């Protein structure tokens, strides 16, 4: 995992814009759908999957998501769970096609691209990287914008910006608060804010306003805890 992260950091030195060209053709080998622990799911991904499957969001979260606390961000994160019997993705069919192709997680849909965000005074800026991979062919030309269009992700940059801003701000605030609270309180806090961030959505309604509202609630909770600790001299 560390080697993979180091490789991605190096690729960030050569970013791609929405209209830059890269070459790749998927051969449907299924190798990118096995033994993965790094496919992060946003609320957007979870809601799209729930709607595609016609299942409640809570059920999708429990069946296909693995919740944990980011080791450096200190923020509740959710990754796509692999099957225990063979290490394959639950959505990988026998023919190596995805069972939820048009609404697959953004990380999967973007592959071999990776999407990154940087926070600047002017706002959050997005760029793409072309991940190093031995699979596929290099006989087709694409742009990130075109690639996203094939998976109904044309508006996902706005979504990604908002989500990254929430996660980044929350990481900063949580890191300040954690040293002031007990382990028991910390566990309860993560359970509460994780539920708000990933599960409190009506999938039949526009998601962006709901994400903004839930993000604001979580940050308000953290601020309230910090203020309370200061009152008691912590």
* pTM for the model: 0.90
Cα angle, residue 206 at apex, residues 197 and 222 outer, rounded to 5°: 25
Mean pLDDT for 87-111 is: 95
> For the chain, how are helix, strand and coil distributed in percent, rounded to 5?
50, 20, 35
Which residues, at least 6 apart from 82, have a Cβ–Cβ distance to it below 8 Å? 34, 35, 36, 37, 88, 89, 90
Per-residue pLDDT for 217 more than 80? Answer: yes
Per-residue pLDDT for 213 more than 60? Answer: yes
Is residue 96 a contact partner of residue 80, using CB atoms and an 8 Å limit? no
Q: pLDDT value at position 100?
A: 96
Q: pLDDT value at position 132?
A: 85
Which residues, at least 6 apart from 55, have a Cβ–Cβ distance to it below 8 Å? none
More confident residue, 228 or 165: 165
Per-residue pLDDT for 122 more than 90? Answer: no
Task: Indicate the SS3 state at residue 38.
Answer: coil
pLDDT tens, position by position, 19-75? 999 999 999 999 999 999 999 999 999 999 999 999 999 999 999 999 999 999 999
Mean pLDDT for 78-92 is: 97
| 96 DSSP 8-state letter | S
- The overall average pLDDT reported for the chain is 91
Q: pLDDT value at position 36?
A: 93
Is residue 25 a contact partner of residue 140, using CB atoms and an 8 Å limit? yes
């Amino acid at each position: 995992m560390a080697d993979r992260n180091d490789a991605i950091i190096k690729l960030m030195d050569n970013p791609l814009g929405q209209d830059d060209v890269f070459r790749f053709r998927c051969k449907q080998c299924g190798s990118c759908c096995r033994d993965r622990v790094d496919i992060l799911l946003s609320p957007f991904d979870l809601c799209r999957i729930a709607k595609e499957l016609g299942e409640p969001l809570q059920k999708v979260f429990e069946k296909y998501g693995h919740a944990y606390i980011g080791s450096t961000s200190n923020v509740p994160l959710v990754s796509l769970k692999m099957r225990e019997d063979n290490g394959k993705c639950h959505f990988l069919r026998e023919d190596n096609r995805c069972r939820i192709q048009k609404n697959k997680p953004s990380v999967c849909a973007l592959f071999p691209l990776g999407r990154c965000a940087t926070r600047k005074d002017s706002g959050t800026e997005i760029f793409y990287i072309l991940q190093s991979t031995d699979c596929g062919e290099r006989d087709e030309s694409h742009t990130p914008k075109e690639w996203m269009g094939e998976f109904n992700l044309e508006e996902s940059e706005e979504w990604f910006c908002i989500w990254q801003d929430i996660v980044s701000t929350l990481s900063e605030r949580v890191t300040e608060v954690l040293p002031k609270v007990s382990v028991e309180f910390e566990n309860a806090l993560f359970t509460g804010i994780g539920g708000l961030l990933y599960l409190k959505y009506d999938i039949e309604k526009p998601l962006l306003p709901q994400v903004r509202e839930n993000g604001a609630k979580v940050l308000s909770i953290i601020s309230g805890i910090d203020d309370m600790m200061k009152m008691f001299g912590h």
